[in-house]
């Protein structure tokens, strides 16, 4: 596997939660990428995952206690200085509280406090714990201390409930580690705004006009821009997905709200990526009460929503780069080039409804990129995370060529 992790020294911390089993999968990915990994576990973590499994995969003894069976000392200072990066996954609510407040009551916490390398923290807990004010304070403290805190996932939790707090998948953590160890920050000193997700246009207090966009493509682009060094603002439509901590997120519902949010930040940014699936039209009037099913047919008038990409394209300065997205069903190339010209964009990323296993509701995408003075660039089917890195890399290249 060709990876930026080849030869890197990674310290993997595992705390005691049901999500600890995912540490096995993460460790396997890291080792396959050529990294040297040492594992430190809390005593509670050993109740969920066997240290023998982690030791076998890492080819290093797993450190758990302050002293070893041969009465020698586990040197937490040297462990903390050995690594190029430290990753704590999963990080329970209890361990996050300890890290935020400097509590040093086990070997893992001592190693964390001794670490001289970047630290990535992947939380995992029940939704009520994740949303608690105390946890939010602890997360903010860790961020202020310069650590990287990854977002939580949404899905089935250890309690049996469904909600926020789930540990994100090992491949996502792996990708974040790669981003943190990336040597180049080609967009450092620049700022970016990204739109993502659908918009909902209300018909009455209950119903709305919307679409199937999850927002994943735009969110991964925002994450990739942030990882490349750009100060990034994400304007996000209705979705349960979240961006990485460090990406400023403005949540909106309607196209008008998204337009207002983008118009407010666009003048101070150098990069604008309009990846949201914005409704072109909205109902001319919104019923104040739920419309009853009294007739066989219902008619209502639609009015055009403001065009966010057009606004950015027509108001951009010479030092701003504007990227739009296009989802096409026929005559894809012609429509994409027409959109590029009409919106005065610098780049259009086009994906087709004809491509199976890509686009809405999929973790993968396949696109063709159109530019005014370059031939179409077709990219093969790949994960949206990998595609986001390709798009951001091309944006960075074009910006530096223009400078």
Of residues 70, 75, 138, 211, which has the active-site annotation? Answer: 211
Q: Is 307 annotated as a binding residue?
A: yes
Residue 124 gets the label, from left (phi > 0), alpha (psi -120 to 50) or beta, of beta
Q: Are 109 and 80 in contact (CB under 8 A)?
A: no
d(CA 232, CA 179): 15
d(CA 369, CA 252): 27
* DSSP per position, 85-114: EEEEEEE-HHHHHHHHHT---SHHHHHHHH
Q: Is 292 annotated as a binding residue?
A: no
* DSSP per position, 277-335: B--SEEESS--SSPPP--SS-----EEEPP-HHHHHHHH--TT-EEEEEEEESSSHHHH
Q: Is 306 annotated as a binding residue?
A: yes
Q: Is 238 annotated as a binding residue?
A: no
Q: Note if 94 is an active site residue.
A: no
Residue indicated by tokens 């860790």:
142
Residue 111 gets the label, from left (phi > 0), alpha (psi -120 to 50) or beta, of alpha
Q: Is 309 annotated as a binding residue?
A: yes
Residue 108 gets the label, from left (phi > 0), alpha (psi -120 to 50) or beta, of alpha
CA 208 vs. chain centroid, Å, equals: 27
Q: Is 304 annotated as a binding residue?
A: no
Q: Is 205 annotated as a binding residue?
A: no
Q: Is 308 annotated as a binding residue?
A: yes
Tokens for 363?
Answer: 């973790």
Q: Is 136 annotated as a binding residue?
A: no
Does an H or E element contain 364, and which? strand 364-365
Binding-site residue numbers are 280, 290, 306-309, 325, 339, 343
Binding-site residue numbers for CTP are 280, 290, 306-309, 325, 339, 343
The residues annotated as belonging to the active site are 211
């Amino acid at each position: 596997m060709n990876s930026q992790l080849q030869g890197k020294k990674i310290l993997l911390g595992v705390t005691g939660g049901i999500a600890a089993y995912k540490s096995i999968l993460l460790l396997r990915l890291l080792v396959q990428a050529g990294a040297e990994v040492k594992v430190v576990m809390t005593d509670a973590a050993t109740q969920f995952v066997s240290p023998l499994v982690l030791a076998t995969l890492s080819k290093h003894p797993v450190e758990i206690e302050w002293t070893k069976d041969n009465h020698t000392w586990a040197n937490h200072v040297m462990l903390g200085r050995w690594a190029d990066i430290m990753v704590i996954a999963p990080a329970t609510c209890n361990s996050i509280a300890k890290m935020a407040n400097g509590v040093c009551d086990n070997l893992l916490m001592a190693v964390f406090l001794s670490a001289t390398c970047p630290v990535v923290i992947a939380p995992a807990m029940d939704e009520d714990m994740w949303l608690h004010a105390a946890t939010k304070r602890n997360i903010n403290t860790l961020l202020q201390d310069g650590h990287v805190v990854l977002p939580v996932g949404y899905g089935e939790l250890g309690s049996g409930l469904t909600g926020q707090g789930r540990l994100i998948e090992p491949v996502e953590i792996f990708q974040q580690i790669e981003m943190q160890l990336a040597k180049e920050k080609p967009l450092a000193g620049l700022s970016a705004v990204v739109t993502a997700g659908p918009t909902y246009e209300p018909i009455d207090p209950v119903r709305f006009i919307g679409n199937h966009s999850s927002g994943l493509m735009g969110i991964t682009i925002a994450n990739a821009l942030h990882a490349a060094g750009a100060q990034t603002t994400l304007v996000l439509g209705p979705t349960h997905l979240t961006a990485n901590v460090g990406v400023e997120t403005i949540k909106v519902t309607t196209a008008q709200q998204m337009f207002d949010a983008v118009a407010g930040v666009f003048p101070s940014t150098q990069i604008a990526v309009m990846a949201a699936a914005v409704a072109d039209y909205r109902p001319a009037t919104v019923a104040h009460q739920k419309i009853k099913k009294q007739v066989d047919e219902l008619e209502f008038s639609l009015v055009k929503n403001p065009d966010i990409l057009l606004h950015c394209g027509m108001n951009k300065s010479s030092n701003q780069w504007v990227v739009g997205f296009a989802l096409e069903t026929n005559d894809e190339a012609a429509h994409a080039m027409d959109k590029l010209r009409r919106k005065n964009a610098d780049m259009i990323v086009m994906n087709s409804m004809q491509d199976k296993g890509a686009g809405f509701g999929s973790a993968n995408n396949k696109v063709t990129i159109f530019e005014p003075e370059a031939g179409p660039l077709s990219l093969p089917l790949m994960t949206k995370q990998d595609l986001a890195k390709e798009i951001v890399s091309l944006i960075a290249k074009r910006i530096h060529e223009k400078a």
